[in-house]
C-alpha cells in the first residue's frame, strides 16, 4: 500500500505542476535575468516524506517538475545514507538527470555544536563530518548546522563559535561551507548570531537567513524583528530561506513581507539561491510550494 500511495502522490504532484508552469512561463528563466535562482527546501514536503508518500530519491524529480533549479536536502530523510556511496551516487545521478543543482544539506540531530563540555563539542563535530563529506560528494556548497548551546549569552557565543570553528576547519579541507540558520533559541537573535560569526572568523562560516524563524522562545513568545534580523545576517549569508506559512487572497505571505525582505537581500548584494520552504498547514504541501514559488517570482520581477 505504501508504494501505491507513493506512486499516487508523485502522479498527483507532477500533474498539478502542469498548470503552474503554464501560468508561470518564466519558471526556468530567472538565472539569466535575475541575480536570484529558486531552490526547494526538502522540509516543504516533510509530511509526505514522513508518511513514505515520497522518498529522498524522489525529491530532485519533484523539484524539477515544480520548476525549481536547486535542491536543499534535509539529513533526516536519508539519515543512514551519509556514508553510503552507492546511494549518494544514485542521488547525484538523479539530480544531474533532472538538471537540478545540489545546493546544501540541512543537518539536524547530530549534537550540540556549542555544548558546554568540550568532549561533547568534539563529538558533535565528528558527527557532522560525514555530512560534510556527503555534501562534497553530491556537489553541494554547504551544510546547514544548528548553533545550540547552554549558559549565559556570552558563554553560548563562545561555545558555539568554538564548535563551529572546528567544523569549519574540516569543511575547509573539503571546500564545504558551514552555515547557521536562525533556528530557535539565541540563534534567532540576529545580534547574538552576528557575534558568533565574528568570533568564528573563518571564511567557511556563514548564515542562512530564514524569513520566518525569528522565534527565540516559544513558551514565552519572545521573538526578534525579522526585518532587522535578515538585514543583520545578510552580510554573512551563503543562502537565503523564503519561509512561508499562509497566504492572502493576493498571494502574499501573511506574516512576512517578501517584497521588503527581498529588497534587504538584494541591497546586501546577495546573488544566488533563495529557497522555497513552505511550512504551513492551510494548503497541501505541493500547493503551498507552488504558492511560495509564484510569490518569489513576482517579487523577483518587481526588483528588476
Query: Considering the domain boundaries, does residue 30 fall inside one?
Result: no
The arithmetic mean of pLDDT across residues 132-140, rounded, is 98
Tell me whether residue 164 is in a domain. yes
Are 106 and 75 in contact by the 8 Å Cβ rule? The answer is yes
Residue 18 has pLDDT above 60, yes or no: no
Predicted confidence (pLDDT) per residue in 204-237, tens digit: 999 999 999 999 999 999 999 999 999 999 999 9
**Chain segment 66-86, per-residue pLDDT in tens:** 999 999 999 999 999 999 999
Round to whole Å and give the CA distance between 293 and 296: 5
Query: Does any domain span residue 194?
Result: yes
Q: Residue 147: in which H helix or E strand, if any?
A: none
What is the band of 46 on the pLDDT scale with cuts at 50, 70, 90?
very high
Beta pairing partners, 283: none
Residue 179 lies in a domain: yes
Other Cβ atoms less than 10 A from the Cβ of 148: the count is 20
Per-residue model confidence (pLDDT) at position 33: 74
The answer to whether residue 296 scores a pLDDT higher than 70 is yes
In angstroms, the first-to-last Cα distance of the chain is 48
Average pLDDT over residues 277-299: 98
Total domains in the fold of the chain = 1
Whether 133 is in a domain gets the answer yes
Helix (H, G, I), strand (E, B) or coil at 84: coil
Are the beta carbons of 104 and 138 closer than 8 angstroms?
no
- Antiparallel, parallel or unpaired: β 142-145 and 177-181: parallel
For residue 253, give the nearest of 210, 196, 190, 204 by alpha carbon.
210
Confidence class of residue 26 from pLDDT cuts 50, 70 and 90?
very low
- Reduced to 3 states (helix: H, G, I; strand: E, B; else coil), residue 206 is strand
Residue 27 forms part of a structural domain? no
Instruction: Please give the pLDDT value at position 12.
Output: 57
The answer to whether residue 28 sits within a structural domain is no
Beta strands per DSSP E along the chain:
36-41, 70-74, 101-106, 142-145, 177-181, 205-208, 215-217, 222-223, 240-244, 272-278
Share of the chain above pLDDT 90, in %: 88
pLDDT of residue 15: 53
Q: Say which residue, 12 or 263, is predicted with more confidence.
A: 263
**Domain extent at residue 227:** 2-13+40-302
Q: Above 50 in pLDDT, residue 25?
A: no
**pLDDT over 80 at 22, yes or no:** no
> Where residue 1 falls among pLDDT bands split at 50, 70, 90?
very low
216: Cβ–Cβ under 8 A, 6 or more apart, which residues? 184, 185, 186, 188, 189, 222, 223, 224
Residue 179, pLDDT above cutoff 80: yes
Cell of 48: 509526505
Confidence of residue 304 (pLDDT cuts 50, 70, 90): confident
Q: Which residues pair with 274 in a beta bridge?
A: 38, 240
* CATH number (domain holding residue 199): 3.20.20.150
Query: Cα separation of 142 and 103, whole Å?
Result: 7
Q: What is the average pLDDT score of the chain?
A: 92
Would residue 174 be called left, alpha or beta, if left means φ above 0 and alpha means ψ between -120 and 50 degrees?
alpha
Beta pairing class for 215-217 and 101-106? unpaired
Amino acid at each position: 500500500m505504501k508504494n501505491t500511495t507513493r506512486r499516487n502522490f508523485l502522479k498527483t504532484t507532477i500533474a498539478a505542476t502542469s498548470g503552474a508552469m503554464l501560468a508561470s512561463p518564466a519558471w526556468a528563466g530567472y538565472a539569466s535575468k535575475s541575480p536570484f535562482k529558486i531552490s526547494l527546501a526538502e522540509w516543504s514536503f516533510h509530511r509526505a516524506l514522513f508518511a513514505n508518500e515520497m522518498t529522498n530519491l524522489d525529491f530532485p524529480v519533484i523539484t524539477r517538475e515544480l520548476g525549481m533549479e536547486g535542491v536543499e536536502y534535509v539529513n533526516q530523510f536519508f539519515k543512514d545514507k551519509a556514508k553510503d556511496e552507492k546511494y549518494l551516487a544514485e542521488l547525484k545521478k538523479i539530480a544531474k538527470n533532472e538538471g537540478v543543482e545540489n545546493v546544501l544539506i540541512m543537518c539536524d540531530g547530530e549534537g550540540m555544536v556549542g555544548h558546554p563540555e568540550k568532549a561533547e563539542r568534539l563529538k558533535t563535530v565528528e558527527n557532522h563530518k560525514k555530512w560534510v563529506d556527503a555534501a562534497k560528494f553530491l556537489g553541494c556548497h554547504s551544510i546547514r548546522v544548528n548553533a545550540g548551546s547552554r549558559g549565559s549569552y556570552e558563554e553560548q557565543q563562545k561555545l558555539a563559535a568554538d564548535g563551529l570553528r572546528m567544523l569549519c576547519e574540516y569543511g575547509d579541507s573539503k571546500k564545504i561551507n558551514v552555515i547557521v540558520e536562525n533556528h530557535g533559541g539565541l540563534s534567532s537573535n540576529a545580534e547574538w548570531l552576528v557575534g558568533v560569526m565574528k568570533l568564528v572568523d573563518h571564511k567557511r562560516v556563514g548564515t542562512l537567513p530564514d524569513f520566518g524563524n525569528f522565534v527565540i522562545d516559544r513558551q514565552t513568545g519572545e521573538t526578534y524583528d525579522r526585518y532587522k534580523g535578515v538585514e543583520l545576517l545578510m552580510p554573512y549569508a551563503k543562502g537565503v530561506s523564503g519561509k512561508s506559512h499562509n497566504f492572502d487572497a493576493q498571494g502574499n505571505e501573511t506574516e512576512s513581507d517578501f517584497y521588503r525582505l527581498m529588497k534587504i537581500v538584494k541591497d546586501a548584494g546577495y546573488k544566488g539561491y533563495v529557497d522555497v520552504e513552505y511550512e504551513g498547514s492551510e494548503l497541501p504541501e505541493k500547493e503551498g510550494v507552488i504558492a511560495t514559488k509564484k510569490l518569489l517570482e513576482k517579487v523577483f520581477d518587481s526588483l528588476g
